[in-house]
């Protein structure tokens, strides 16, 4: 390691999120997790989502793209007021945005209409902090006009305090926001679904039970990531403050005087340093500097270390008091302020290392169940560990065995001549392990008996919930089945939808729908959907679909049973689809390993690297 590194502890972030989400939920408030300070690092967003946040808030589209590429399918809201010039990108990338300019809202509406989507907006009200927001006098007119914009869905109002002006959220200013919600509802006859009260600085008010009942959402970053409220920066009860740490190496360690020798002028940054004469001290130079971090926001974990100063590439510390004495090459660890965290996560020079708790790692164990040519060739498993797969094989799996396997966190691939999907769905549903289901194939061959239809309808407890079911890639359906799809309101993406939305977005939407409230996803994949793009998907689209599934970390079961490949060529093609769904990439790096430095600075999410 030639530079410093920052460790990111997923388990602590998840636990922090759970604590904050729990507190807010007790007061009828939903929590949006804000990860702009970590530049949209997908692993952090996933930890927040496991901790219960309802969606993700981000300030930059680059970070949103990183999140999407990293498999985040939860709703994402853009927090920073959108620039007029980026309306088209915004409606394409995020589900919702916070707004304060009428002309931007009009542009978003036009862009959303062109794209055939409804973009949700929260109108911000300036309660005195003097950052974003409509001035209260203008709010009613703004809402009235927003309601008339065809591409826009008015979702509610919000406020942001304690950011620029340092105005503290109080019962008084929060009541003012709540009043506006009532006035809008009474005056304009529109429902104000969301009243988004603010950020981490609002938590003390919530904990004191003084947040007005009308406030039903907070957007929380710092309290989840660093475990602090943001008015006095006190540790928040029930959270850890050390989910992040910066580590740097001692590159020089010498006993030297504490005061420079010779006439002194300005330092490298134009300051005029002052020195206390403590005689000779042990001075350590570390390989971290202002190029990497906001040095003022670093707090040594060892209280015997005192930071003396820093230049672009060096940090100088007094380590005289350290016991046992330090040696050259030792590492020192620092806690980070919000500003320091922002800097280290943004710096391309700081390596990002993910600390993954054994319980949060996507389980590497994969059970390949059934007799199939797809599983036959042993050589393909030689490098499996490298891309995060620990294979086991079972020729004739019983449903009891696969339930145990899934309960213990393993994933499964089911193949073979006999179609097993219906049996899988029914047994997982009956076992209280409801899986969301994405049914990918050209034909509507879903066994509707699973929904309780027809003479072979399965028992009540084995039924699949239609909200967790998505059809994708459909080319043919007879009228009788089409009627069932309509009756049960099953979300369906035909080939035409794939053409319009693109395969990645289609799969993302399907995942989001199927995953909500389920215990992970079963993907039933009929490889004949890939007909080299004649009427169905191209092979590349299939891979992208499977890669999007893999990146979401939601896959529990991949079912390719019911068809066997005939020629050797199809065996290879189908097997590659299967492996893509399990996370194999061309430049495989197993999931959960340290994120290497990349020049974007934020844990690479380029295709071919994990995270």
Active site residues: 36
> What's the chain's length in residues?
611
Task: Kindly tell me which of 97 and 320 has the beta carbon lying closer to ligand PLP.
Answer: 97
Residue 51 C-beta: closest distance to ligand PLP, Å = 14
Q: Which of 432, 442, 433, 396 lies closest to 411, judged by CA? A: 433
d(C-alpha 45, C-alpha 562), whole Å? 37
DSSP 592: T
CB 75: neighbour CB atoms within 10 A? 15
d(C-alpha 95, C-alpha 179), whole Å? 26
Residue 224 C-beta: closest distance to ligand PLP, Å = 8
Task: Kindly tell me which of 131 and 153 has the beta carbon lying closer to ligand PLP.
Answer: 131
Residue 220 C-beta: closest distance to ligand PLP, Å = 5
> SS3 of 601, please?
coil
d(C-alpha 106, C-alpha 91), whole Å? 12
Query: Of all residues in this chain, which one has the CB nearest to ligand PLP in the complex?
Result: 221
Considering only residues 155 to 184 of the shown chain, the ones binding ligand PLP according to CB under 6 A are 160
Residue 222 C-beta: closest distance to ligand PLP, Å = 4
In this structure, what token pair is assigned to residue 284? 């350590």
How many residues touch ligand PLP under the rule CB under 6 A: the total is 14
Task: Kindly tell me which of 122 and 464 has the beta carbon lying closer to ligand PLP.
Answer: 122
Q: ∠ CA 239-240-242 to the nearest 5 degrees?
A: 155
Residue 444 interacts with ligand PLP (CB under 6 A): yes or no: no
* Distance linking the first and last C-alpha atoms of the chain: 20
In 538-602, where do the E strands start and end?
Answer: 555-559
d(C-alpha 335, C-alpha 318), whole Å? 17
Task: Kindly tell me which of 220 and 529 has the beta carbon lying closer to ligand PLP.
Answer: 220
In this structure, what token pair is assigned to residue 85? 């010039």
Considering only residues 189 to 218 of the shown chain, the ones binding ligand PLP according to CB under 6 A are 199-200
Sign of CA dihedral 111, 114, 119, 122: positive
Task: Kindly tell me which of 34 and 142 has the beta carbon lying closer to ligand PLP.
Answer: 34
Residue position matching structure tokens 């507190």: 23
User: How do strand 244-257 and strand 5-9 relate by DSSP bridges?
Assistant: antiparallel
DSSP 132: S
d(C-alpha 69, C-alpha 605), whole Å? 7
Task: Kindly tell me which of 160 and 337 has the beta carbon lying closer to ligand PLP.
Answer: 160
DSSP run (H or E) holding 320: none
Region for 168 from its dihedrals, namely left if φ exceeds 0, alpha if ψ lies in -120 to 50, beta otherwise: beta
Residue 221 C-beta: closest distance to ligand PLP, Å = 3
Residue 300 C-beta: closest distance to ligand PLP, Å = 24
Residue 23 interacts with ligand PLP (CB under 6 A): yes or no: no
Task: Kindly tell me which of 240 and 449 has the beta carbon lying closer to ligand PLP.
Answer: 240
Give the one residue of 36, 66, 411, 611 binding ligand PLP; rule: CB under 6 A: 36
Query: Which residues pair with residue 194 across a beta bridge?
Result: 156
DSSP 598: -
Residue 49 C-beta: closest distance to ligand PLP, Å = 16
Give the one residue of 17, 29, 34, 450 binding ligand PLP; rule: CB under 6 A: 34
Task: Kindly tell me which of 132 and 318 has the beta carbon lying closer to ligand PLP.
Answer: 132
Task: Kindly tell me which of 122 and 579 has the beta carbon lying closer to ligand PLP.
Answer: 122
Burial of 331 (0-12, 13-18, 19+ CB in 10 A): middle
Considering only residues 225 to 244 of the shown chain, the ones binding ligand PLP according to CB under 6 A are 230
> SS3 of 59, please?
coil
Task: Kindly tell me which of 160 and 506 has the beta carbon lying closer to ligand PLP.
Answer: 160
Contact call for residues 37 and 221 (beta carbons, < 8 A)? yes
Q: Which of 86, 109, 118, 99 lies closest to 156, judged by CA? A: 99
Residue 338 C-beta: closest distance to ligand PLP, Å = 7
Q: Which of 378, 392, 249, 263 lies closest to 315, judged by CA? A: 249
Residue 126 interacts with ligand PLP (CB under 6 A): yes or no: no
Q: Which of 260, 207, 251 lies closest to 231, judged by CA? A: 207
Give the one residue of 5, 16, 31, 59 binding ligand PLP; rule: CB under 6 A: 59
Residue 230 C-beta: closest distance to ligand PLP, Å = 5
Residue 157: phi, psi to the nearest 5? -125, 165
Residue 105 C-beta: closest distance to ligand PLP, Å = 17
Residue 79 interacts with ligand PLP (CB under 6 A): yes or no: yes
Contact call for residues 218 and 206 (beta carbons, < 8 A)? yes
Considering only residues 298 to 317 of the shown chain, the ones binding ligand PLP according to CB under 6 A are none
Considering only residues 322 to 381 of the shown chain, the ones binding ligand PLP according to CB under 6 A are none
Residue 222 interacts with ligand PLP (CB under 6 A): yes or no: yes
Give the one residue of 219, 420, 468, 512 binding ligand PLP; rule: CB under 6 A: 219
> Residues in the site for ligand PLP, rule: CB under 6 A?
34, 36, 59, 79, 98, 160, 199-200, 219-223, 230
């Amino acid at each position: 390691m030639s530079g410093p590194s920052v460790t990111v502890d997923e388990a602590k972030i998840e636990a922090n999120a759970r604590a904050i989400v729990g507190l807010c939920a007790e007061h009828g408030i939903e929590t949006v997790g804000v990860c702009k300070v970590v530049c949209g690092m997908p692993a952090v967003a996933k930890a927040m989502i496991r901790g219960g946040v309802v969606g993700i808030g981000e300030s930059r589209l680059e970070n949103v793209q990183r999140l999407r590429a990293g498999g985040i399918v939860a709703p994402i809201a853009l927090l920073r007021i959108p620039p007029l010039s980026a309306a088209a990108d915004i409606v394409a990338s995020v589900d919702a945005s916070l707004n304060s300019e009428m002309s931007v809202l009009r542009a978003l509406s036009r862009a959303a209409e062109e794209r055939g989507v409804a973009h949700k907006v929260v109108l911000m009200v300036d309660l005195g902090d003097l950052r974003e927001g409509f001035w209260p006098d203008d709010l009613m007119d703004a809402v009235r006009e927003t309601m008339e914009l065809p591409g826009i869905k008015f979702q509610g109002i919000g406020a942001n305090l304690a950011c620029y002006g340092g105005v503290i959220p109080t019962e008084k200013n929060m009541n003012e926001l709540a009043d506006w919600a009532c006035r809008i509802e009474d005056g304009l006859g529109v429902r104000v679904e969301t009243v988004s009260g603010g950020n981490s600085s609002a938590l003390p008010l919530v904990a004191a039970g003084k947040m007005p009942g009308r406030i039903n959402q907070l957007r929380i970053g710092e309290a989840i990531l660093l475990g602090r409220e943001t008015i006095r920066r006190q540790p928040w009860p029930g959270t850890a403050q050390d989910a992040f740490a910066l580590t740097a190496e001692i590159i020089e360690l010498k006993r030297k005087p504490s005061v420079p020798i010779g006439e002194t002028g300005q330092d490298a940054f134009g300051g005029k340093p002052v020195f206390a004469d403590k005689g000779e001290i042990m001075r350590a130079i570390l390989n971290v500097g202002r190029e990497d971090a906001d040095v003022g926001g670093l707090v040594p974990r060892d209280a015997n270390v005192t930071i003396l100063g820093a230049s672009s590439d060096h940090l100088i510390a007094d380590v005289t008091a350290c016991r046992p004495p330090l040696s050259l090459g030792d590492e020192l660890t620092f806690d980070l302020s919000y500003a320091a965290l922002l800097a280290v996560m943004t710096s391309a020079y700081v390596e990002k290392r993910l600390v993954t708790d054994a319980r949060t790692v996507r389980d590497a164990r994969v059970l390949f169940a059934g007799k199939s040519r797809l599983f036959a060739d042993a050589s393909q498993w030689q490098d499996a560990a490298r891309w995060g797969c620990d294979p086991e094989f079972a020729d004739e799996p019983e449903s009891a065995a696969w339930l145990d396997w899934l309960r213990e966190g393993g994933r499964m691939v089911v193949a073979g001549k006999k179609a097993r999907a219906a049996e899988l769905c029914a047994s997982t549903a009956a076992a209280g392990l409801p899986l969301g289901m994405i049914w990918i194939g050209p034909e509507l061959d879903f066994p509707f008996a699973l929904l309780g239809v027809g003479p072979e309808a399965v028992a009540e407890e084995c039924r699949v919930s239609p909200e967790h079911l998505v059809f994708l890639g459909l080319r043919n359906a007879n009228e009788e089945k089409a009627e069932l799809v309509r009756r049960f309101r099953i979300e369906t993406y035909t080939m035409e939808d794939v053409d319009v939305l693109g395969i990645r977005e289609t799969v993302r939407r399907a995942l989001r729908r199927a995953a909500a409230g389920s215990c992970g996803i079963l993907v039933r994949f009929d490889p004949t959907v890939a007909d080299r793009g004649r009427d169905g998907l191209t092979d590349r689209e299939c891979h992208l679909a499977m890669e999007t599934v893999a990146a979401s970390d939601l896959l529990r079961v991949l079912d390719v049973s019911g068809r066997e490949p005939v020629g050797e060529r199809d065996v290879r093609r189908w097997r590659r689809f299967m492996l893509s769904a399990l996370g194999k990439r061309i430049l495989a790096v197993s999931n959960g390993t340290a994120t290497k430095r990349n020049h974007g600075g934020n844990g690479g999410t380029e295709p071919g690297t994990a995270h």
